[in-house]
Structure 1
Amino acid sequence: MSQEPRMRFSRRTTLALPASLVATAAGAQGFPDRPLRWIVGYPPGGASDAFARLIAGLMAPRLGQNVVVENRPGGGAVLASETAARSPADGLTWLHVDNGILVYNPALYARLPINPDTDFTGVGFIGRFPLYLVVRADSPWQDFAAYRAAARSLAPNYGTPAVASPHHLAMEMVKRRTGLDAQHVPFRGGPAAMQELLAGNIESVVIDTATGLPFIADGRVRALCVLSETRSEKAPAVPTLRELGFAEAVAYGWQGMSVPAATPATIINRLSAEMIAAIQSPEISGRMSTLGIEYRPWSPAEFNAFVAAENAVWRPLIRELGIRIDG
């Protein structure tokens, strides 16, 4: 997620791989020599799990080895992060990363078993995911103004996929920027939060475009706003909070892939090249476009620079918000 993204995005993808990645791929010809694993710190069925499996499925044949997606949910993905950080730096263990893992956790936790700034290095970017605030289709709140007005009398609750998820931190930022009062209810993944919303057990949900857009498109939920800079082409009737007068209330979820920091550059570049090829394939690029996910084919260095820019925005904001998970 980012308030003011430091890099420009395009909805179009570039089909040509950077020449430098093609050249360096040849330097890792003997890699990999056995199956690989992709660690995901969230439950099966959510956006992180779905895209890890899609991308892994296309990378595996190109790498000549199976890629096993290993779900290790819980604790702000700290368990998954530690597992990956403690693995050999041989390129065989990948970590599915997002804002929470690489950016938020050092500001949220007084103590972490790993340091994402020094224990990991980027392989590539998966995409930037607009975030929506949604309610049931039969909710009395027709728009964000009504939701905010109702909160003055009784704070609504809002669900997210997890404590300290991009969705959670985005809504806490929205509360600070708009004067809204709302109570957080974490779930084990976005699909679980949406099902509880539809069942009437929660009043609203902050959900990413990959999980939420199908519910919005078929009318099962009403989107009160989107937290992106501009309206999504996939839900053009949904206003941004920026349009509604809250210029600083901008946030996204984003995902990528990292490996242990000591992984050889030739292996990182090989993985980057194969990852870019997989994401730019018709199978994945078409699905991402349908779900309104924004992609750029960044090199490992470009992805690391993006993460550094995110750190500069969000870590001070989290401290300003006073949100801590422990200590």
Structure 2
Amino acid sequence: MNPLSKMLRAAAFTAALASAAAPFAQAQPQQAAATYPSKPIHFVVPFPPGSGTDVGARFFARKLGELAGQPVIVENRAGANGFIAVKAVTSAPADGYTLLMGSNSTLATNVALFKQLPYDPVKDLAPVSTLMRSPIVLIVPANSPYKTLKDLIDAARAKPGQRTYASGSAAYQLMGELFADKAGIQLLNVPYKGAPDAVNATLSGQTDLGFSDITATMELLRGGKIRALAIAADQRLAGLPDVPTAQEQGIGGFSADTWTGVAVAANTPKPVVDKLSDMFVKILAMPETREFYARQNVITMKGGQDELRDFQREQIAVWKRIAAAARIELQ
């Protein structure tokens, strides 16, 4: 047999092997989805217990466990601006058993604050579903001398850069800078490990003010342990009817909220992601889910993979513009 014939025969043999293997390779993801889930699921949260993200994760973990027929274990991997939690998800097997309870910081605003982010929230993570949006409140200690937003702004203008605000994540830092920019003042950011720590710092008077999602502060506000000066939303909240919006008090453009979404490692089989996404969309449609979040003045989102990816890209663009306008030095 001449060399050319040998090469042609070898090529034909290789092609035949590839053709034979193709159905098996295509069947693998389908088989994975058919048996998924067959063991406990781990739900990784980038913030400490007690944060709004953690509270939501525990609610969804319970409901997901009911639908999946498997235990869903919530793991708090707080710190490092969410990097630790994201690493735990992206370094785990991409099989749908390790989920990220992503937040606006881990999925969007970190991109606007770091020169060299150790992960790409779009390329390294596959979207599963959006979950909820929570309005932001500007809070001060209960014994603060600032009774109104005007009092706070006047004090900040009198001593530029000396009024401090607590931020529980990179996202809250950007919200603080957005407020300072719209109010025409300079504030000093004091970062904390998570939202509960930041709220406690404001409550105890370690900082002059703070920014928090409503879920982390509602009980403190109702108990008179902390005071809200403004809502960063288009309209007042039903649960806090006496707290005016920033817009009502002359600070236009200060609108911000926290939001959450579920993601998995980027190379997770698509049929598994589809199955997970369907379960989360079902949970979002449950009356008890809407009631749970309505009690916290939180808005549930439609849900789904496409909604999360589109919303995520939109948020990244928005906060990049805000960071550039505020001239925030990238970390």
TM-score of the superposition, structure 1-length normalised? 0.86
Give the equivalent residue in structure 1 for 2:274. Answer: 269
SS in 1 for 2:92: coil
Determine which structure has greater relative contact order: mean sequence separation of CA pairs < 8 Å that are 6+ residues apart, divided by chain length: 1
Which one has the bigger helix percentage?
Answer: 2
1:307 aligns with 2:312: yes
**Structure 1 CA distance for aligned equivalents of residues 275 and 193 of structure 2:** 33
Cα offset, 1:46, TM superposition: 1.0
1:51 aligns with 2:66: no
**Structure 2 CA distance for aligned equivalents of residues 52 and 323 of structure 1:** 31
Asked if the contact 2:221/2:227 (under 8 Å) is kept, the reply is yes
Cα offset, 1:136, TM superposition: 2.1
Counterpart of 2:167 (choices 122, 140, 160) is 160
Structure 1: 5+ residue runs without aligned partners?
1-24
Report the identity percentage. Answer: 29
Give the equivalent residue in structure 2 for 1:227. Answer: 232
- Pair 175,106 (structure 1): closer, same or farther in 2 beyond 3 Å: same
* 2:308 alignment partner AA: F
Give the equivalent residue in structure 2 for 1:257. Answer: 262
Cα offset, 1:304, TM superposition: 1.0
1:147 aligns with 2:152: yes
Cα offset, 1:146, TM superposition: 0.6
Cα offset, 1:61, TM superposition: 2.5
Give the equivalent residue in structure 2 for 1:293. Answer: 298
Cα offset, 1:305, TM superposition: 0.9
Counterpart of 2:196 (choices 191, 194, 201) is 191
**Structure 2 CA distance for aligned equivalents of residues 188 and 237 of structure 1:** 30
**Structure 2 CA distance for aligned equivalents of residues 122 and 231 of structure 1:** 31
**Structure 1 CA distance for aligned equivalents of residues 248 and 270 of structure 2:** 44
**Structure 1 CA distance for aligned equivalents of residues 154 and 173 of structure 2:** 21
Cα offset, 1:174, TM superposition: 0.9
SS in 1 for 2:260: strand
RMSD over aligned Cα atoms: 2.0
Aligned residues: 300
Give the equivalent residue in structure 1 for 2:104. Answer: 99
Cα offset, 1:270, TM superposition: 1.5
Cα offset, 1:29, TM superposition: 3.3
* 1:65 alignment partner AA: Q
In our comparison, the structure showing a higher alpha carbon Rg is 2
Asked if the contact 1:103/1:315 (under 8 Å) is kept, the reply is no
Query: What does 1:1-327 correspond to in 2, within 5 Å?
Result: 28-154=33-159, 155-162=162-169, 164=170, 166-326=171-331
